Amino acid sequence: MATALCPGSFDPVTNGHIDIISRTARHFDDVIVAVIRNPQKAQSLFTLEERQEMLREVTSHLPNVRIDFFMGLLVEFAKDHGANAIVKGLRAVSDFDYELQMAQMNQQLSGIDTFFISTSPQYSFLSSSLVREVAKYGGDVSSMVPPTVAKRLDERFKA
Ligand code: PNS
């Protein structure tokens, strides 16, 4: 069984994430989407439970994908869950330096390799932080996130 781990903050999940998760699901028997409990970034917009719930909703059509969460080191979670690989999306060269550094650190710590999937070009500008910013100021994010996420963003910023 080849199990892949797709880690991230997913605050919130975007169409770019779904692109990477669904393409990963074609190549591995099992995919665990691992949501970090406490993102290092500024306070998250959505709670861990909300981020997981949205991911469950938007991946429910993918039978070999499950949603979980982790705290601390990703490689410890990977070892505990029998994951053989970490899979990340690369949007642009600006992602590369940090992703390479993390991949090498994770390899050094655990022997687990990271595989990169190139983001589909239509999503290469997308990030959760920009989606949050656009939604906060009332911009239209309906082409960037699934409808259920757009609805939650709307509700969050209306409140
Ligand atoms: O969606 P993000 O915020 O870009 O995801 C970053 C994430 C969660 C994948 C990364 O910060 C991470 O793996 N954090 C876990 C802590 C860890 O294992 N650090 C050492 C890796 S070099």
Annotated active-site residue 94? The verdict is no
Residue whose CA is at the smallest distance from ligand 1 atom 14: 74
- E strand spans, the chain: 3-8, 30-36, 65-70, 85-90, 113-118
CB 5 within 8 Å of CB 83: yes
Average pLDDT over residues 38-65: 92
Q: Determine the atom of ligand 1 nearest the C-alpha atom of 10.
A: 1
Pairing of strands 65-70, 85-90: unpaired
pLDDT tens sequence across 109-137: 999 999 999 999 999 999 999 999 999 99
Determine the Cα–Cα distance for residues 116 and 119; give it in Å rounded to an integer: 9
pLDDT, average across residues 54-79 = 98
Query: pTM, whole model, 2 decimals?
Result: 0.96
Mutate to test the pocket of ligand 1, among 9, 90, 132 (most ligand atoms within 8 A of CB): 9
The closest-lying atom of ligand 1 relative to the alpha carbon of residue 74 is 18
pLDDT at 159: 66
Instruction: Indicate the DSSP class of residue 120.
Output: P
